[in-house]
Amino acid sequence: MLETRDILETISMIQDENLDIRTVTMGISLLDCIDSDIDKACARVYEKITTKAKNLVPVCEEIEKELGIPIINKRISVTPIAMIAAACRSKEVVKFAITLEKAAREVGVNFIGGYSALVQKGFAAGDKELIESIPEALSVTDHICSSVNIGSTKTGLNMDAIAMMGNVVRKASELTADRQCIGAAKLVVFCNAPEDNPFMAGAFHGPGEPDCVINVGVSGPGVVRAALARPEAQGLDLSGVADLIKRTAFKITRMGQLVAQRASQRLGVQFGIIDLSLAPTPAVGDSVAHILEEIGLESVGACGTTACLAMLNDAVKKGGVMASSHVGGLSGAFIPVTEDAGMIDAARSGALTIEKLEAMTAVCSVGLDMINIPGDTPAEVISAIIADEAAIGMVNSKTTAVRVIPAIGLKVGEELNFGGLLGSGPVMPVSKYSPLKFISRGGRIPAPLQSLKN
């Protein structure tokens, strides 16, 4: 029997605490669209996406109404386009981006991810061309997201790719300088990229995935913060806080599991995973930073932030794992700066620095995410930021990523405003010392030992 208290709790989670399903992402394999003629390949890609995802948006809208839960984004992830482009004689890879954009508009999704290359050990045919085309692809499209995997725990770091990505990130920003440098906000550089991630900008459909699959990303930082803000939570010690977070994460994830099952059943597509994430939005009351502050920090960025985040991240996973039959993706707490009201405030006041964020990424789900850096930051510095972040992921066997936005023409303290879920934020200072010689050496950083762990 339903209890009034449970009903009211669910309703206040949705209405007052911004609980929502962040994304239902359909992963579509494009491996069967390969053709040596790029135009034929593009036609097949368009045909496959618009057939498979034809009902994605209407079905999600139907589920939203039925359950009364908002599903914020409907997205598609596809096989890394570098793998499809490899077979084409033509090197005009941007044609694929234009095709994906057309398909995204046709089916009405918010984003399509997979303009990607996996080069953790080296470049195969098509990889370099695709990476070089990323800035143009992101500037001529609105819905495409791009990612490049430049390292992994098993392979080490591809420093040639990292050197290349510094330039690519800068160029993506430069080409969209008239649009708040939005290009770089749709590009993420990974170490240990997951193949089933439903979140943008890093979503792609890995080569080991089935033909078509439904992955769901849940949200809910507001719900966790509200639970911790209740009077009965004030006297809890940290074991109690961790338990409360676990219980809340369980409920959030159950909702995600229900939506995922319905979506996969109605679309006739296999259910893949639930991504157990706390994904903030710039909306008031939907911030991961505010959870950390509710636990007891004056501001995110204070000493103790890394420890609080480590506990939060672990408790979210522990609570979510039991609530879902399959867990995957990035799973954890996201700390994107411009997408989180509390992070934005802390960055503005100087409480939060890039160095502290880097430490936080060692214990949270992803990495240096949505950080505006000065417009005159040289490409090799961006490469070195990527190398540092990737090293943390490589050594700790976790996913890390970099999504920084060089704010062309802006200095520290000035702001970029992307609008929507991507938010806004100040330009943060970056170390002025040069890593040029290190980055120009190229080559690979060997894979780390997996024993003798200290």
Residues of the shown chain interacting with another protein in the complex, contacts defined by CB under 8 A: 2-4, 6-11, 15, 61-62, 65-69, 251, 254-255, 257-258
Min dist. Cβ of residue 252 to another protein (A)? 8
Q: Is the Cβ of residue 19 or residue 161 nearer to another protein in the bound state?
A: 19
Residues with Cβ < 8 Å from 84, sequence gap 6 or more? 30, 31, 33, 34, 41, 45, 96
Min dist. Cβ of residue 340 to another protein (A)? 25
Q: Is the Cβ of residue 67 or residue 362 nearer to another protein in the bound state?
A: 67
The residue with tokens 């970099």 is 402
Min dist. Cβ of residue 323 to another protein (A)? 9
Min dist. Cβ of residue 21 to another protein (A)? 11
Q: Is the Cβ of residue 255 or residue 385 nearer to another protein in the bound state?
A: 255
Q: Which of 166, 167, 172 is closest to 185 using CA atoms?
A: 172
Min dist. Cβ of residue 295 to another protein (A)? 24
How far is the first Cα of the chain from the last one, in angstroms, to the nearest whole number?
52
Residues with Cβ < 8 Å from 435, sequence gap 6 or more? 380, 381, 383, 384, 387
3 state DSSP class of 285: coil
Min dist. Cβ of residue 255 to another protein (A)? 6
| CB-based burial label for 454 (10 Å; 0-12, 13-18, 19+) | exposed
Q: Is the Cβ of residue 218 or residue 421 nearer to another protein in the bound state?
A: 218
Q: How many CB atoms lie within 10 A of CB 128?
A: 17
Q: Is the Cβ of residue 10 or residue 353 nearer to another protein in the bound state?
A: 10
21 vs 33: CA distance, rounded Å: 31
Residues with Cβ < 8 Å from 327, sequence gap 6 or more? 273, 274, 275, 276, 317, 320, 321
Q: Is the Cβ of residue 9 or residue 174 nearer to another protein in the bound state?
A: 9
